[in-house]
Chain A
Amino acid sequence: MANRIEIQNLIYDYKSFDTTTRAIDGINLTIDSGCFVAVLGHNGSGKSTLAKLLNAIFLPTSGKILIDGMDTCDESKLLEIRRRVGMVFQNPDNQLVTNVVEDDVAFGPENIGVPPLEIRKRVDDALHTVGMSDYSKHAPHLLSGGQKQRVAIAGVIAMRPRYIVLDEPTAMLDPRGRQEVISTIKALNRDFGITVILITHHMNETIDADRLIVMADGRVIADATPREVFKNVDRLHEVGLSVPDTTDLIYKLRASGLDIPIGALSVEECARSIYDYFIRRDS
């Protein structure tokens, strides 16, 4: 079976006693193994619901999700799906289960019955990968937010997943913690080929993604490279999202009649394209 996530005509309704709210309203997506996908959207856009559907925490109201060909509704495949699709959540305090870092990392592999010596090896490798080896015997509540999130990531990669879904992993972190987590995630994708699905509302974290999916009201409203997506400044503003300041600057300069190509995302690209414009003019 092909190594990819396939989402077909996905609909998900939240039901409380008297009301039904549609959180996901008809999504079709294919996510290939090995890429780095960012999902951007407001609170209530359905992006966190989508994350929980990928891991079979929620099951589709209608439609289908296939993980490497396995249907998330197939109960006999449940553990295998959850092993392949690792999840990291927003609040670092509420996803660590034990008082010792290495025991926490071992929790996942223990659940799927990995032999003890193999767990030991995986735990050490995972902690090394996220740069937390020195903290293996520490208590999680004494770590910083960024360190806790890295432990949570280690706990997931010790299960050797193919996909890792991160649901706003940096929302509660300070700039330094955010930096630590984002560079860890990028390394996972780059060096270990793990498929990363990063759900966030920080635009700057999406810039380096291979693909950016924008969600609003339970639907996908944009799906392309970050460069292409951010070109569409007006469309993003319509759904209440903004664009990176670099794009915003060029967009405004263009509106004032400066002929600078839109699409620059990084500081360097932005400065370069403005500089090039002035050089062109002067010559």
Chain B
Amino acid sequence: MLKDITLGQYFPGNTVIHKLDPRTKLVITTLYIAVLFIAGNFISYSVVLAFLILSIYLSHIKLRVILRGIKPLIVIIIITGLLNLFYTEGKELVSWWILTITAEGIKRAVLMIMRIIMLIMGTFLLTYTTSPIQLTDGLESLLSPLKKIRMPIHELSMMMSIALRFIPTLIEETDKIMRAQKARGADFETGNILQRAKALLPLLIPLFVSAFRRADELAVAMESRCYHGGEGRTRMKQLIMQSRDWLTFLGGALLLVCIITLNVYGL
């Protein structure tokens, strides 16, 4: 199960999607998320879905890999779906005990599930095709106007990048500690919620201790490599907008216009 968490992973590649400027990808992803929330019916969702599938296709990332990322969140998705299914008012179709299914409920549940799944897939596509350092650079560059009002943009983006770097390491470590405690008879699988929460202590405490130790060592290592914040820092990979970036923006704008039009005309 832990191995299914693929957030923060990056799959190197040489496709158009990989080569896009990270700023373009960040803007388009934000736009994509916005569009997902604006879209209100099946037709607009299909358009957005087509856009997503095209992007996935261009990225050469296997659909299965992206879908795998959804697995750990499946419970949340199902609960959201069920809540929408049962608690939407409208034309009653089936009613049993306190549960009522309405036609609107079915529609909303399906749309909601699609929305979450597409949201996850879209953001995963971003992290899968953009190395964390690029992502950080992109974010820093996009948010740099905020530096004027003394927002620590460089620091925030560095923190994000390091967090992403250490996710696989910490997942591996969690797995290891879990097995080590199991070897001492720890039981993570049975008992009620309270017992289970308590059973997690032997896992969480060592994990925190180790995260702090790592943070400490990493800080020293970074300092010894002359890290002193964003001031005077150069970049090996400079961000330069190419024509493919402008074309992508055009595509994104078209998508936005398309969805708004569909909404206005209530299709």
Contact = CB atoms under 8 A, between A and B. Distances in A.
Interface of A: 52, 55, 57, 79, 82-83, 86-87, 89, 91, 93-100, 102-103, 106-116, 119-120, 123, 137-139, 141, 155-156, 159
A139 B133 CA distance: 12
B162 A100 contact: no
Contacts of A141: 168-169, 172
A265 to B, nearest CB: 32
Nearest to B173: A93
Contact of A57 (B10, B161, B224): B224
Interface stretch (B44-52, B104-112, B215-223): B215-223
B217 A103 contact: no
B185 interface: no
B228 A98 contact: no
**Which 6 pairs of residues, A with B, have the shortest CB-CB distance?**
A95-B221, A94-B217, A106-B236, A119-B236, A111-B226, A87-B224
A116 B224 CA distance: 21
A96 B221 CA distance: 8
17 contacts: A82-B226, A93-B214, A95-B217, A97-B162, A98-B133, A99-B133, A107-B225, A109-B236, A110-B235, A111-B233, A112-B232, A113-B234, A114-B234, A141-B169, A155-B225, A159-B225, A159-B226
Contacts of B172: 141
Q: What class of interface size applies to chain B in its complex with A?
A: 20 to 34
B217 A108 contact: no
A94 B133 CA distance: 17
B220 A111 contact: no
A98 B220 contact: no
B133 A103 contact: yes
Interface in B159-191: 161-162, 164-165, 168-169, 172
Nearest to B11: A139
Given A98-B131, A98-B133, A113-B234, A139 B168 contact: yes
A144 B117 CA distance: 35
Contact of A156 (B131, B132, B225): B225
A81 to B, nearest CB: 9
Nearest to A100: B131
Contacts of B228: 79, 111
Given A82-B224, A95-B217, A159-B226, A113 B236 contact: no
Contacts of B233: 110-111, 113
A63 B224 CA distance: 21
A116 B238 CA distance: 7
Contacts of A83: 226
Nearest to B227: A111
Nearest to A165: B224
Contacts of A113: 232-234
A209 B218 CA distance: 29
A91 B217 contact: yes
Nearest to B213: A94
A116 B217 contact: no
Contacts of B206: none
Given A99-B164, A99-B165, A139-B10, 18 more contacts: A82-B225, A89-B217, A93-B169, A93-B214, A94-B217, A95-B218, A99-B131, A100-B10, A103-B133, A108-B225, A109-B234, A111-B227, A111-B228, A115-B234, A120-B236, A138-B12, A141-B169, A155-B225
Contact of A94 (B10, B164, B218): B218
